[in-house]
Each structure stands twice: as C-alpha cells, then as structure tokens.
Copies of this chain bind each other. A is one copy, B any other.
C-alpha cells in the first residue's frame, strides 16, 4: 500500500474545531489544517466535500458538546424549575466564554449550508421548554423559552464581542437580567 490512511473524517473535524477556536474561523486555511494532520490540502477533499461542509460538521460537533454541557449542568442542579433553568443558562454562558469562536460559528451563521443538524438543537430545546412552561404556564412555554434563549444568547454575544464597554459586573448583570425575565413571566 503506497498511501496508507493517515486520517479520517472525525480527526479532520476535531482538528478543524481546535484550530478555529485558536485562531478564528476566517484564519482557518485548508493547507494549515492538512499540515496539522500530516497530509496535503487536496487529500481533505476525500473526506469532506467542501470547506462549507467542513464548517457545518464542526458546528454539529460543537452543538453536541454544548448539549453535553447542558446535560452536566442539569444533573448537578436542584429540582426547582427556576434553578434548573438558571443552571442551563449559566452553562451556556460558560461554554460561550470557553469556546467563543466555535460558539459564534454555531449561532451567528446566516448561511443555512453551514448550520448544524436541526435535530441536535431541537433536543436542547424541548426539556427547557417544559421547565419554563412550569413557570409561565404551558401555553406560554414556547414564547417564554424563545425569549430566554434570546436573552442568554444576546448577552453572551454582546459580551464576547466587547459591546459592553462601560465596565461593571457583567456576571451580576447576567444573573439579574435572567431573574427579572423569569419573574416577569410568573403570574402575580
């Protein structure tokens, strides 16, 4: 065998994710990725159809990791719905801060071709919708969940992009905003 298999699709995607997180998405060159795997750039095309498909696969991997982070947070959280929701939101903020480039790639992608598998994010959403339904009422569960996801995602996005430039305790603002939002959905 003159050219033995030196890599596979999984290794390519994992290495791409590491490089993206280290240098940013637009700094990822296929030649650099191939070099990190000990091969040449054109060989990558035997495993992934295009750079766009590669980014979509990285997004799927990232969403799997985010799902696992949510799962760990839920397992360690108390039983009250509000506490469980807060644990998940904190986990999302922590994940975004630990993996800013991959987090941005996962959610800030307008092009559908680079989006992760739909199933994955669906799995993330349904348990949260049930939890928030217990606070806001089942008929408001979807709208309340969407607002909560928006609040958390918007906060970490603005935070990561340096749009909160006037100092102060951002962690405290995050907690207070979520507390206010959840309180606002509960009937008085």
Give the interface of A toward B (CB within 8 A): 24, 100-101, 104, 107-112, 115, 118, 121-122, 125, 136, 140, 142-144, 146-155, 157-158, 160-166, 168, 170, 172-174, 176-185, 188
- Chain B residue nearest to A115 (CB atoms) is B162
Decide if A180 touches B147 in the complex (CB within 8 Å): yes
A140, A151, A183: residue with the most chain B Cβ atoms closer than 10 Å: A151
The smallest C-beta distance from A122 to any residue of chain B, in angstroms, reads 8
Chain B residue nearest to A153 (CB atoms) is: B154
- Number of identical monomers bound together in the oligomeric complex: 2
Q: Is the CB–CB distance between A150 and B143 below 8 Å?
A: no
A107 to chain B minimum Cβ distance, whole angstroms, is 6
Chain A interface secondary structure, helix, strand, loop or mixed? helix
Cα of A154 to Cα of B160 in the assembled complex, Å? 13
When distances are taken between beta carbons in the complex, the residues of chain B under 8 Å from A185 are 180, 184
Tell me the bound Cα distance from A110 to B26 in angstroms.
12
